[in-house]
Amino acid sequence: MKKVLLLFFLILAAGGAFAQQKREFRGAWIQCVNGQFQGMGTEQMQRTLTYQLDELQKMGANAIIFQVRPECDALYQSSLEPWSRFLTGQQGRPPKPYWDPLQWMVFECHKRGMELHAWINPYRAKTKGTTAVAVTHVTARHPERCMEYDELMLLNPGLPENRDYICEVARDIVTRYDVDGIHMDDYFYPYPVAGLNIPDDNAYRQYSNGIADRGDWRRHNVNLFIKQFYETVHQAKPWVKVGISPFGIYRNKRSASIGSETNGLQNYDDLYADVLLWVNNGWLDYCVPQVYWEIGNKAADYDTLVRWWDRYCGNRPLYIGEDIERTVKNADPHNPKRNQQWAKHQICMQMKNVKGSVLWYAKAAVDNVGNYATTLRQNYWRYPALQPLLPYIDKKAPGKPVKVKQIKTDDGPVLFWQAPKAKKWGDEAIKYVVYRFAKGEKVDTDNASNIVAVTTNTFYKLPYINGNHRYTYLVTTLDRLQNESKPAKKKVRL
């Protein structure tokens, strides 16, 4: 027994062992604000995105967070905001040949069994590099609702009409597109610049509501917005998830006893983002703190922060935002011959409330920087994973597939089935999970290694060998929130 344990720990030390949950959010951010698509043209951008999605699928990703509104503009057809310069090179200019990137991404992600979350920036109206805006842009139509700060233009969070406007944009996206989620990043009030005050005196005089402290008032404004935003999305479509990826530090210990042992910018004090209030009040469906630092960082240690978020942010699914490049350029503190990917994974696997991760950023993963993607594909994301459950929205499983049968085709044997009947959205079968078990093998649907496909199709091509091998296939249905049905069974010879 001692020899077995010793061997186990040696394997762990070598990084060869891995653990995988059956339910895990495996996301990647695809951003446009860095200009990677600007002026690329329709065909080249579609080829680039197709390649990225194919590679992300191979490495096991099951969710894409796609930036569609970087500065009150749109990478989709909108009657509310102009086409983005990050798409066509000029704000307001439609793509040519015409296409709708968000609609295209929804289709392509769903085809690959992935979720698509539309990523918006709520308040930012003009980035530093934008020199001209379209006449239909909000800064041109309503300059009185905007404020300038450090060469940025922002919708003033203190004005109720801006909250209404952003929620109208969100409702438009959710209503017209079959997105699985809508996502905000960490820009609320602007990142502070020394010696530069936020110009919101007029809004404060008009809407202070008796709140004496300016910081409390700013947090109140953002709180009102988050609550309204969450309710707006779920009124439009109850199953669409609302997610936020806040800056990685909530508060430092020196600012509050609840704070982490860190020394950096703070959500609560500097960005006026009370993330824990949103989580504890149920105004989010998932939270992705951007814990981009390395293990051992003196100001913001990865290990310290992951443990802090796990302790305080467990009332909603918690995913960790991972910086690929920083992870692979820093050595594992316990093994200088390898990078920190393995060590970070081990930390997250120890946490009770961490249910997944999101990669910053998709292109770094696709480029396999530091063999990060290879490690995911061969180890941590080797088998498919379902999404974490959200029982407070819907916990009823759909009916199981019906009429499961094997049919011989010119292309070989195929397993076919039909969707169960559905009376409402929570009963509707959206995807299917296919499991395979060899003769004599224990049937275990909790083990992800038994999953051979997660698909939107109602068929699965069977891998025929010589007709002498017996297998049991199980097929289950998933609804929009990935509640899983009981299995339908079919025995086959391959």
Q: What is the residue type of 374?
A: T
**So what's the pLDDT on residue 26?**
98
Residues 126-141: tens digit of each pLDDT? 999 999 999 999 999 9
Helix residue ranges per DSSP H, 125-250: 138-141, 160-176, 201-207, 214-236
CB 233 within 8 A of CB 240: yes
Over range 212-234, report the average pLDDT.
98
Q: What is the pTM of this model?
A: 0.95
Tell whether the model's pLDDT for residue 2 goes beyond 80.
no
With H, G, I as helix, E, B as strand and everything else as coil, classify residue 61: coil
Q: What percentage of the chain has pLDDT greater than the value 90?
A: 94
In order of their start, the domains of the chain are 23-380 (3.20.20.80), 402-493 (2.60.40.10)
Q: How would residue 19 be classed by pLDDT, with cut points 50, 70 and 90?
A: low
Tell whether the model's pLDDT for residue 13 goes beyond 70.
no
Tell whether the model's pLDDT for residue 243 goes beyond 70.
yes
Distance CA 413, CA 406 (A): 7
**So what's the pLDDT on residue 467?**
85
Residues 29-68: tens digit of each pLDDT? 999 999 999 989 999 999 999 999 999 999 999 999 999 9
